């Protein structure tokens, strides 16, 4: 699956809508209306700033359950995402934290979202929710059962977690794509707001065998030009918020500035690719 089939660009910038606490979460405030209004405001700010896509997460539902979320969360997310999709003309994705990929796939198929993010698709990770096991077998068969083409973008050695054993990054990327059948992989740093290294992105690109590699956290105005030299796309949240604070709402001015900085890098990449193609053609002649 090519990224431009989903995002109309081969180097997408995906902004994140962090939902306020949902029903049954520890900090749920008892009213869904403010949650919907904030989500709509943030989606509008992202669209106005020029992102290529949006991913919606139940981020403020922490502490998370490690597997299946409550049906009320699924219902609320379905309603909110449908509202967002009727408000902005952008491809939308879903991440149901901590690792409820099946619910994310169900929501996506109902509202016609384009992709989901899966924190643990293959392997076993030790997390603050306990041991989380990948369920690629279940998820891929569920996608087929739903008869949907929702793309699966999977984290590799996901943040806020440690793998059981010591698999290297190359092996983890290959397993996620070749055995887990992910449509793309996501690399993050060790925690929210922490970026992957350029060296890790290079290793992932080499192992991904033409599948897209995303920056999953920590992208900011200082490092985006360096990281996007390697990565195919970026998922960004904190840097787009007021004062770069995760609890603050999205700032449309910061969105437009980040988009402009990232697209400058992407433009240079396209020019370099074109030059390489020209050189190859000249050699053939």
| Residue 58 domain boundaries | 3-284
DSSP state of 50: T
Mention every residue, 6+ apart, whose C-beta is less than 8 A from residue 137: none
**pTM, entire model:** 0.92
Task: Look up residue 128 and give its two tokens.
Answer: 């603050």
- Render pLDDT for 57-71 as a digit per residue (tens, 0 to 9): 999 999 999 989 999
Closest CA to 1 of 179, 184, 180: 184
Task: Look up residue 265 and give its two tokens.
Answer: 């890098």
- Render pLDDT for 169-195 as a digit per residue (tens, 0 to 9): 999 999 999 999 999 999 998 877 789
* pLDDT on residue 176: 96
Average pLDDT over residues 2-21: 95
Domain CATH number, residue 30: 3.20.20.70
Mention every residue, 6+ apart, whose C-beta is less than 8 A from residue 121: 101, 134, 135, 136, 139, 152, 154, 155, 176, 180, 182
Number of domains in the chain: 1
Q: How many residues does the chain have?
A: 285
Strand order in the sheet with 130-133: 130-133, 124-127, 161-163
- Render pLDDT for 116-164 as a digit per residue (tens, 0 to 9): 999 999 999 999 999 999 999 999 999 999 999 999 999 998 888 888 8
* Separation between Cα atoms, residue 78 and residue 155, nearest integer Å: 23
């Amino acid at each position: 699956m090519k990224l431009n089939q989903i995002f109309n660009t081969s180097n997408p910038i995906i902004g994140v809508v962090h939902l306020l606490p949902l029903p049954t979460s520890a900090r749920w405030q008892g009213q869904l209306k403010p949650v919907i209004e904030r989500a709509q405001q943030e989606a509008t700010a992202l669209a106005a700033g020029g992102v290529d896509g949006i991913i919606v997460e139940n981020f403020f539902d922490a502490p998370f359950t490690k597997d299946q979320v409550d049906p009320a969360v699924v219902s609320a997310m379905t309603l909110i995402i449908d509202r967002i999709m009727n408000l902005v003309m952008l491809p939308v994705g879903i991440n149901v934290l901590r690792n409820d990929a099946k619910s994310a796939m169900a929501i996506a198929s109902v509202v016609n979202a384009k992709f989901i993010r899966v924190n643990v698709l293959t392997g076993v990770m030790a997390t603050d929710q306990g041991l989380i096991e990948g369920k690629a077998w279940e998820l891929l068969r569920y996608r087929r059962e739903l008869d949907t083409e929702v793309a699966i973008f999977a984290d590799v050695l996901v943040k806020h977690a440690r793998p059981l054993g010591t698999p290297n990054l190359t092996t983890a990327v290959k397993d996620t794509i070749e055995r887990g059948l992910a449509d793309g992989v996501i690399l993050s740093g060790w925690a929210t707001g922490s970026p992957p290294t350029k060296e890790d992105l290079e290793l992932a690109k080499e192992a991904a065998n033409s599948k897209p590699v995303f920056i999953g956290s920590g992208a900011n105005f200082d490092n985006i030009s360096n990281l996007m030299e390697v990565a195919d796309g970026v998922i960004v949240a904190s840097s787009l918020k007021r004062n770069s604070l995760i609890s603050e709402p999205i700032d449309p001015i910061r969105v437009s500035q980040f988009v402009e900085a990232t697209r400058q890098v992407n433009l240079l990449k396209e020019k370099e690719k074109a030059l390489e193609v020209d050189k190859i053609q000249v050699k053939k002649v």
